[in-house]
């Protein structure tokens, strides 16, 4: 069975982790727990549990099975599970993971909600464009061809596009479906590359930075709480961020820690991407020996900042999109109306 491409929804994942935590906390052995969960499971969750049951029967650990499902459990989660199994605190760690998955789902929902309006506006624009090309343009193009008036370039482009759409409808639809399927496939194969292109946009760039820092701090908190060494934890958190400059900042912090210094010392060298308040909180945590708790505080603070930034970005995108769509639709209407005014003017001169 190919486990590398299997995935679970956020709800399924949180249910799985929650059930494992509840039953292990009650003192039920891991094999009995998995057998019990297998009875009511289905789909990809059942495949995961069946693989887990098989591996446990062969003397393997839970983290060994989780590592086989990279689209469900990232390297951070796998290493947290590994450390907790070695320390004998799997039930406690599963509770922390459940909370982390819940927060991550809320985080993703906030971003998804912010994208709904722009997607709706773009959908309306495409619908208006199709109606114009299919219904309006063919009628006026017939009139223009009969009267043999001079047609402006924008109007000619719209007429050509309308003719292509009407005379090659199946080809156009098939092409759109293939292009859409190809984009989805490429996105699934290399999601990070697509996201990196998106976050180059001016308004989105700062927001993406805050999201990366939130994920970095939350992942580092979980890894340190599980007892994973700082250098290993920093190396793993490099994979949860998207922006290259933040990835380089974490890499530099790891190098500084290897040299015997503190994380905060390394982050200070990248003040252009790491907020000062974040560095100060980490510094305080290092002084008091509670770095893991400090990272949790940082993640909660940044989560709040992301919520505010999302509201700001949404508030900015809405009027910008309305203006862009309005200008585009207005331009298309002018491309239709302008030749008609020209035609009326020519008739008036006669």
130 lies in some domain: yes
The answer on 175 and 28 residing in a single domain is no
- How large a percentage of the chain has pLDDT more than 90? 3
* R_g (Cα) of the chain, nearest Å: 28
Q: Quick one: average pLDDT of 89-111?
A: 80
* pLDDT on residue 252: 92
338 lies in some domain: yes
Over residues 219-253, the pLDDT tens digits come to 888 888 888 888 888 888 888 888 888 889 999 99
91 lies in some domain: no
* pLDDT on residue 132: 83
Rounded CA separation 234/219 (Å):
9
**In 3-state terms, what secondary structure has residue 72?**
coil
CATH code at position 210: 1.20.81.30
The answer on 132 and 15 residing in a single domain is no
Residue 162 has pLDDT above 70, yes or no: yes
Residue 174 has pLDDT above 80, yes or no: yes
Which domain does 56 fall in, by range? Answer: 10-73
83 lies in some domain: no
The answer on 180 and 46 residing in a single domain is no
Over residues 64-81, the pLDDT tens digits come to 888 888 888 888 888 888
The answer on 191 and 65 residing in a single domain is no
- How large a percentage of the chain has pLDDT more than 70? 91
Q: Which of 297, 262, 251 minimizes the C-alpha distance to 278?
A: 297
What is the DSSP secondary-structure string of 200-242? TSHHHHHHHHHHHHHHHHHHHHHHHHTT--HHHHHHHHGGG--
Residue 57 has pLDDT above 80, yes or no: yes
Over residues 245-266, the pLDDT tens digits come to 888 999 999 999 988 888 998 8
Over residues 121-132, the pLDDT tens digits come to 888 888 888 888
Residue 300 has pLDDT above 80, yes or no: yes
**Cα angle for residues 91, 97, 98 (degrees, 5° grid):** 90
Q: Which residues of 243-267 are buried (b: 16+ CB within 10 A; e: fewer)?
A: beebbebbeebbebbeeeebbbbbb
How many other CB atoms sit within 10 Å of the CB of residue 197? 9
- pLDDT top residue among 104 and 282: 282
How many folded domains does the chain comprise? 2
The answer on 119 and 58 residing in a single domain is no
The answer on 123 and 194 residing in a single domain is yes
Residue 84 has pLDDT above 80, yes or no: yes
Over residues 1-53, the pLDDT tens digits come to 667 778 888 888 888 888 888 888 888 888 888 888 888 888 888 888 888 88
The answer on 149 and 65 residing in a single domain is no
Q: Which of 169, 6, 30, 165 minimizes the C-alpha distance to 90?
A: 30
Residue 144 has pLDDT above 60, yes or no: yes
- pLDDT top residue among 51 and 108: 51
CB 137 within 8 A of CB 336: yes
The answer on 108 and 56 residing in a single domain is no
| End residue of a domain, out of 40, 73, 106 | 73
173 lies in some domain: yes
| Phi-psi category of residue 289: left, alpha or beta, with phi > 0 → left and psi -120 to 50 → alpha | left
The answer on 69 and 170 residing in a single domain is no
The answer on 251 and 155 residing in a single domain is yes
């Amino acid at each position: 069975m190919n486990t590398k491409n299997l995935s679970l929804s956020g709800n399924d994942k949180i249910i799985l982790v929650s059930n494992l935590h509840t039953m292990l906390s009650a003192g039920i052995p891991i094999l009995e727990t998995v057998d019990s969960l297998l009875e009511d499971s289905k789909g990809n969750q059942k495949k995961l549990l069946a693989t887990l049951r098989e591996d446990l029967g062969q003397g393997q650990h839970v983290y060994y099975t989780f590592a086989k499902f990279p689209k469900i459990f990232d390297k951070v989660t796998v290493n947290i599970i590994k450390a907790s199994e070695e320390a004998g605190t799997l039930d406690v760690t599963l509770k922390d993971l459940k909370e982390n998955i819940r927060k991550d789902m809320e985080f993703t929902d906030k971003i998804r909600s912010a994208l709904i309006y722009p997607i709706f506006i773009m959908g309306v624009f495409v619908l208006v464009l199709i109606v114009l090309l299919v219904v309006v343009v063919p009628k006026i193009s017939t009139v223009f061809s009969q009267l043999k008036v001079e047609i402006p370039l924008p109007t000619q482009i719209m007429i050509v596009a309308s003719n292509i759409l009407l005379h090659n409808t199946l080809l156009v639809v098939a092409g759109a479906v293939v292009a859409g399927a190809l984009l989805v496939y490429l996105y699934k194969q290399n999601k990070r590359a697509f996201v990196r292109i998106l976050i180059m946009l001016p308004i989105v760039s700062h927001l993406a930075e805050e999201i990366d820092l939130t994920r970095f701090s939350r992942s580092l908190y979980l890894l340190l709480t599980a007892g994973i060494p700082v250098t290993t934890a920093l190396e793993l958190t490099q994979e949860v961020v998207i922006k290259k400059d933040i990835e380089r900042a974490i890499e530099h912090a790891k190098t500084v820690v290897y040299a015997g210094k503190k994380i905060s010392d390394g982050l200070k060298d990248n003040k252009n991407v790491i907020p000062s308040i974040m560095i100060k909180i980490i510094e305080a945590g290092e002084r008091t020996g509670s770095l893991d708790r400090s990272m949790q505080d940082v993640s909660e603070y940044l989560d709040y900042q992301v919520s505010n930034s999302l509201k700001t970005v949404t508030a900015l995108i809405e009027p910008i999109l309305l203006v862009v769509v309005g200008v585009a639709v207005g331009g298309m209407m002018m491309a239709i109306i302008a030749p008609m005014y020209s035609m009326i003017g020519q008739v008036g001169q006669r």
